[in-house]
Amino acid sequence: MITTNRFKKVNAKVAALVVAGMTWVMGVPTFAATDLELPVEHATLTVAPIVPPPIVRDHPAKVIVTLETIEKVGRLSDGVEYTFWTFGGQVPGNFIRIREGDHVEFNLNNHPSSKMPHNIDLHAVTGPGGGATSSFTAPGHSSRFSFKALNPGLYVYHCATAPVGMHIANGMYGLILVEPEEGLPPVDKEYYIMQSEFYTKGSYGEEGLQPFDMAKALSEIPDYVVFNGAVGAIAGDNAMRADVGESVRIFVGNGGPNLVSSFHVIGEIFDKVYVEGGDMVNHHVQSTLIPAGGSAVVEFLVDVPGTFILVDHSIFRAFNKGALGMLKIDGDEDLAVYSGKQEDSVYLPEGGGIQSIAERGSVSVKAKSKEERILFGERTYAQNCMACHQSSGQGIPGAFPPLAGSDYLLSSPNRSIDVLLHGLSGEIVVGGQSYNGVMPAVQLSDESIANVLTYVLNSWGNNGGVILPEQVIERRTH
């Protein structure tokens, strides 16, 4: 983020050590009393996707950073819990913002309830283990070390206690920004996103408290790939926001522990990408690679309103494993930039047929009541049906029939079961309107089909009822 050459960087490091008053005592680097004369401030730490405000001072300071490691159960997805190991009680850990030349006093506290020792490796640190060798902290203990911020850039931090991969896979990572001396160019909005993977005993969407699966982690086959620690963490009501005409900067990290991210915002082009969080800037970029343990800074101006979807463009991760977020833009349309749909007409070439879509995650927990069946069915609907039939069951005119008030659906529950089991192709009439398309056979379990149909029957003003797995089994063998 600041243009330097090798000679300048080496001399900057030497100068920084002189200014800090570093001396050597019995071969150990020690900061002399002059360092204590720097102004002291406590770092502002924020929870993703919030970023601390830009640094406005034009001089170095002694910055005190205090982080707590704590192990806690939290939400991984709807109905799915996980025991996260965290920095600051959240995944990812708190965002840390300092300035090039700052002297940082770092305090790491390990909560007494922790079962494991933890430490921290900050990629911004020049020193053994990035601080890991000086911060090994047992439960109920605190550690402190200091470092000089020599190099500007956006850096990952993570736990480096053995087994390192397991500590990272359980949620122990975050970002630290070292602003260049002259600061970053101002923008209207800044956000913090971190991608990572989770490896669970159960498959994607399998409910309950899920333990870590070391075999899957070693094979690098995650069940979840997510932004900010959970499915939907920055989607829906949690979406990031901006207004038309504003400039947006996103600090993006990849905690891994294994996969490379292909970060992309659907419907936007990055005006600038600070490649790998450093000072090399690329322009007009569609997707940017972020290695495990790496980062990038992306910037763009928003020109039109709408909901822009953030994804890992290794696309099955986005739509089947959770790597999906939202940036909602408010403001006036600009039809010269984007017109919206201008025409919708029927196109029916020859060919086609009934396809099938496999269930994304089988539900191992059985519904014990109508209320639970509706709840589980709502989750299945969101994962498999909402894109076509929409959030309120209204369908899409001329393309997908409505489920709300559907005479086709409500007049024959068995027919509805058959459609989910075997698919449907050809013309049907719903509410007096003709639809001629293809409904894929969605390969759901008997339990999930019963759940989702019960949810539909009891939603959007429909007349209620319950579908049981036994009914689905009977139709499957019919």
pLDDT in tens, the chain (478 residues): 544 443 344 444 444 444 444 444 444 444 443 455 899 999 999 999 999 999 999 999 999 999 999 999 999 999 999 999 999 999 999 999 999 999 999 999 999 999 999 999 999 999 999 999 999 999 999 999 999 999 999 999 999 999 999 999 999 999 999 999 999 999 999 999 999 999 999 999 899 999 999 999 999 999 999 999 999 999 999 999 999 999 999 999 999 999 999 999 999 999 999 999 999 999 999 999 999 999 999 999 999 999 999 999 999 999 999 999 999 999 999 999 999 888 766 665 655 555 555 554 444 578 899 999 999 989 888 877 887 888 889 988 877 899 999 998 888 888 899 988 888 878 889 988 888 777 777 778 899 999 999 999 999 999 899 999 999 999 988 7
Q: Residue 261, SS3?
A: strand
* Element containing residue 286 per DSSP (H, E): none
Token pair recorded at residue 228: 């900010």
Rounded (10°) angle between helices 469-476 and 413-422 = 60
313 is in an annotated binding site: yes
Q: What residue spans of 143-292 are helical by DSSP H?
A: 164-169, 214-219
42 is in an annotated binding site: no
22 is in an annotated binding site: no
Token pair recorded at residue 319: 């739509």
Q: What is the pLDDT of residue 36?
A: 59
Euclidean distance between CA atoms 355 and 361, whole angstroms:
19
* Element containing residue 448 per DSSP (H, E): helix 446-457
Place of tokens 């959970």: 230
Its pTM stands at: 0.74
**Using one digit for the tens of pLDDT, what is the confidence trace for 38-85?**
999 999 999 999 999 999 999 999 999 999 999 999 999 999 999 999
Q: Residue 383, SS3?
A: helix
Q: What is the pLDDT of residue 391?
A: 85
Closest CA to 119 of 106, 104, 134, 103: 134
CA 137 to chain centre: 28
DSSP per-residue string spanning 347-371? ---S-----EEE-SS---SPP-SHH
118 is in an annotated binding site: yes
103 is in an annotated binding site: no
CB-CB contact of 467 with 420 (8 Å) = no
Q: How many helices (H) and strands (E) does the chain have?
A: 10, 27
Token pair recorded at residue 221: 């086959």
159 is in an annotated binding site: yes
284 is in an annotated binding site: no
Closest CA to 293 of 348, 344, 252, 246: 252
